[in-house]
C-alpha cells in the first residue's frame, strides 16, 4: 500500500477502504508513515469528512494499535463518563464516587488539561500524595474494592491516538468531528467499559461552539458506540458560562468536596446527578436515586477511600495561592455576561493550565467566581478573585477577562445547562 494513494483518495473526496484505514493507522503508529503525510491525511479528513463506516473502521484501527484493558470481573457493572471538556468542569470528581456509591464501578481514565480547559488529573494532583499512574492490576483491584478509579490512561491504550492527537494539535486538525469522535471513542472502547455517557459541551468554553456541531459530534459518537456494541448516551450541555464557582485545580477539588458533602453550586449538583442517572440506567441499576445518595454523604465516603487508595490524603489542607486579587465591577447594574472562554483563559494564564504538554501547572492558581449571571451588583463590588503564585501573570488574566465579564442594565438569564439527550 502507498501512503500517497491514501492521501489522494481522501483529498479527492472518495471513501477510504477498510484496508487503507487499517494500513495507514498501523503504519503511522509504527513510524513508517511520516508525520507530514499523516498531517496531510488528517487535513483531507477535516475538509472532506468520513462516512459512518469509515469512522467505525478508523476507530477500530486505533483500538487495535494497542491493547484493550483486561479488567476482568470486578463484581459490579462497569460504566464510564467522558466530557468533551470545559471551564470549571470538575464533574468527574463528585460523579465517579457517586456512581460507585450507587452500586456501579467507574473506570475513569483521564487526561491532563491543555489550553483553556482543565484536566482531571491536574485537579487531583493538587491533593498531597495523590498518584495518577496505576497498573491494570491496581485499577481492577481498586474497582472491585472501592468502585471508582480516576487515573491516567495506560501507555498501551490506543497509542495511535496519542500520536495522532499530538500531531493534530500542531497542524490545525483538531476540529474534525470524525477525528474527535474516533479519538474519544477508541480510548473508551479500549478501556473496556460496559456503558458510556458522554457530556458533549457547546458554547464559548467548549470545542464545539454551537449546539448543532455538538449534536453532530454526539450523534457520531453514539453511532460509533453502537457499531462497537458499547451502549452510549450523550447529553448536550451548555458551556458558555463556567461550571460552578471555581476554576483551577485545588479550587475545583474544594468545590467538588462541597458537593460530595451535600452542598456546592446548584449547576454542579444538577449535572452530576443528571449524568449519574444516565450512567446508572446503562449499568442496569434502576432503583437507586443518585440525588439521595449524594445528599446522604455515602458518595463522600467513597471519595475519601478513592483518594486514599491512590496515596492521597483526603483530609489534607489544599494548597493556597500566594497572591489573590479581585476584579471589581466598574459600574452598578446586573451581571449579564460571564464568558466561559474568557474565564478559562484567565485561569490558564494565572498558572492553572499549561501552554505545552511538558509545562507544570500551579495547584493553587485559578479564578473564583463571586457572582452569577443575573445578580445585581454595585460599582466597586468584587466579581472574581484571581489566584496565583506568580503575580506577574495577573495582567494577562485581566486582559483575558476584558469584555468577558460584563455588568450592564440587564436583565440577564443564565442559559439552561441541559439541552438534549441522544441515545
The Cα–Cα gap between 108 and 120 comes to 10
Query: Cell 463484581 belongs to which residue?
Result: 75
* Among the residue ranges 179-187, 252-260, 323-331, 403-411, the one whose residues contact ligand URA (CB under 6 A): 179-187
Sign of the Cα torsion 272, 231, 71, 131 reads negative
Question: Which residue out of 10, 82, 90, 300 is catalytically annotated?
Answer: 82
The smaller minimum CB distance to ligand URA, of residues 184 and 369, is found at 184
- Say which residues have a Cβ less than 8 Å from residue 247's Cβ, sequence separation at least 6: 87, 88, 118, 343, 344, 347, 352, 366, 367, 368, 369
110 annotated active-site: no
Can 187 be counted among the known catalytic residues? yes
Of the candidate spans 67-75, 175-183, 291-299, 386-394, the one that interacts with ligand URA by CB under 6 A turns out to be 175-183
Shortest distance (Å) from residue 319 CB to ligand URA: 27
Rounded Cα gap, residues 248 and 267, in angstroms: 17
Which is nearer to ligand URA, 130 or 207 (by Cβ)? Answer: 207
Residue 165 binds ligand URA, judged by CB under 6 A? yes
User: How far is the C-alpha of 258 from the C-alpha of 251, rounded, in Å?
Assistant: 11
What are the C-alpha distances in Å from 419 to residues 55, 99, 210, 237?
26, 22, 12, 6
Torsion of CA 383, 387, 391, 396, to 10 degrees: -60
Which of 83, 183, 240, 256 is an active site residue?
Answer: 183
The answer to the question of residue 183 lying near ligand URA (CB under 6 A) is: yes
- Nearest Cα residue to 206 out of 273, 116, 82: 116
Among 161, 199, 238, 339, the one annotated catalytic: 161
Length of the chain: 423
Contacting residue, 43, 93, 184, 214, with ligand URA by CB under 6 A: 184
Rounded to the nearest whole angstrom, what is the least distance from the CB of residue 33 to ligand URA in the complex? 19
Residue nearest to ligand URA (CB): 183
Q: Cα separation of 262 and 171, whole Å?
A: 44
Q: Quote the Cα angle for 192-281-152, to 5°.
A: 35
Residue 125 CA, distance from chain mean position: 16
**Cβ proximity to ligand URA, 149 vs 206, nearer residue:** 206
Q: Report CA Rg, the chain.
A: 21
- Name the one range near ligand URA by CB under 6 A: 19-27, 180-188, 342-350, 385-393: 180-188
Strand partners, 202: 208, 238
Smallest separation (angstroms) from ligand URA to the CB of 355: 17
Q: Count the site residues for ligand URA by CB under 6 A.
A: 6
Contact with ligand URA (CB under 6 A): which of 180, 247, 302, 327? 180
Contact present, 400 and 349 (Cβ < 8 Å)? yes
CA separation for the pair 9, 16 (Å, rounded): 7
Least gap, CB of 324 to ligand URA (angstroms): 32
Interaction of residue 299 with ligand URA, rule CB under 6 A: no
Whole-number Cα distances in Å, 295 to 81, 90, 292: 21, 18, 5
Give the residue with the Cβ less far from ligand URA, 174 or 226. 174
CB 174 → ligand URA: shortest distance, Å?
6
> Which of these is catalytic: 123, 168, 188, 201?
168
Catalytic residue among 123, 162, 187, 387: 187
Q: Which CB atom, from 198 or from 397, has the smaller least distance to ligand URA? A: 198
161 is known as an active-site residue: yes
Q: Rule CB under 6 A: is residue 341 a binding residue for ligand URA? A: no
Q: 242, 274, 251: which is closest to 365 by C-alpha? A: 251
Residue 167 Cβ vs ligand URA, minimum distance, rounded to whole Å: 11
- Residue 82 a catalytic site member: yes
193 binds ligand URA (CB under 6 A): no
- Site residues (CB under 6 A) for ligand URA? 165, 174, 179-180, 183-184
Q: Which active-site residues does the annotation give?
A: 82, 161, 168, 183, 187
Amino acid at each position: 500500500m502507498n501512503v500517497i494513494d491514501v492521501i489522494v483518495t481522501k483529498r479527492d473526496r472518495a471513501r477510504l477502504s477498510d484496508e487503507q484505514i487499517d494500513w495507514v493507522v498501523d503504519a503511522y503508529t509504527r513510524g513508517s508513515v511520516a508525520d507530514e503525510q499523516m498531517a496531510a491525511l488528517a487535513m483531507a479528513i477535516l475538509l472532506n469528512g468520513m462516512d459512518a463506516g469509515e469512522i467505525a473502521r478508523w476507530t477500530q484501527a486505533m483500538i487495535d494499535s494497542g491493547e484493550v484493558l483486561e479488567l476482568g470481573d470486578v463484581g459490579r457493572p462497569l460504566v464510564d463518563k467522558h466530557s468533551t471538556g470545559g471551564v470549571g468542569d470538575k464533574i468527574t470528581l463528585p460523579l465517579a464516587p457517586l456512581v460507585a456509591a450507587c452500586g456501579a464501578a467507574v473506570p475513569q481514565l483521564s487526561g491532563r488539561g491543555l489550553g483553556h480547559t482543565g484536566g482531571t488529573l491536574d485537579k487531583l494532583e493538587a491533593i498531597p500524595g495523590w498518584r495518577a499512574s496505576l497498573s491494570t492490576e491496581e485499577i481492577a483491584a481498586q474497582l472491585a474494592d472501592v468502585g471508582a478509579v480516576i487515573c491516567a490512561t495506560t501507555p498501551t491504550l490506543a497509542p495511535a491516538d496519542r500520536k495522532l492527537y499530538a500531531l493534530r494539535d500542531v497542524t490545525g486538525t483538531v476540529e474534525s468531528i470524525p477525528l474527535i469522535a474516533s479519538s474519544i471513542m477508541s480510548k473508551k472502547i479500549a478501556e473496556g467499559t460496559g456503558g458510556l455517557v458522554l457530556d458533549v459541551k457547546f458554547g464559548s468554553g467548549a470545542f464545539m461552539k454551537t449546539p448543532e456541531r455538538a449534536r453532530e459530534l454526539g450523534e457520531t459518537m453514539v453511532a460509533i458506540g453502537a457499531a462497537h456494541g458499547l451502549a452510549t448516551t450523550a447529553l448536550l450541555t451548555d458551556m458558555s458560562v463556567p461550571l460552578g464557582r471555581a476554576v483551577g485545580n485545588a479550587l475545583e477539588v474544594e468545590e467538588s468536596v462541597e458537593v460530595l458533602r451535600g452542598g456546592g453550586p446548584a449547576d454542579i449538583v444538577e449535572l452530576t446527578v443528571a449524568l449519574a442517572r444516565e450512567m446508572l440506567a446503562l449499568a442496569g441499576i434502576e432503583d437507586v436515586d443518585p440525588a439521595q445518595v449524594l445528599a446522604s454523604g455515602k458518595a463522600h465516603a467513597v471519595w475519601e477511600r478513592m483518594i486514599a487508595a491512590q496515596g492521597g490524603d483526603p483530609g489534607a489542607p489544599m494548597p493556597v495561592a500566594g497572591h489573590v486579587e479581585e476584579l471589581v465591577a466598574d459600574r452598578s447594574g446586573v451581571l449579564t455576561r460571564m464568558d466561559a472562554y474568557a474565564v478559562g483563559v484567565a485561569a490558564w494564564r494565572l498558572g492553572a493550565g499549561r501552554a505545552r504538554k511538558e509545562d507544570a501547572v500551579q495547584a493553587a492558581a485559578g479564578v473564583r467566581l463571586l457572582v452569577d449571571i443575573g445578580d445585581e451588583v454595585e460599582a466597586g463590588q468584587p466579581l472574581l478573585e484571581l489566584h496565583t503564585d506568580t503575580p506577574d501573570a495577573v495582567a494577562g488574566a485581566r486582559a483575558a477577562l476584558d469584555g468577558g465579564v460584563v455588568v450592564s442594565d440587564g436583565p440577564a438569564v443564565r442559559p439552561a445547562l441541559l439541552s438534549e439527550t441522544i441515545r
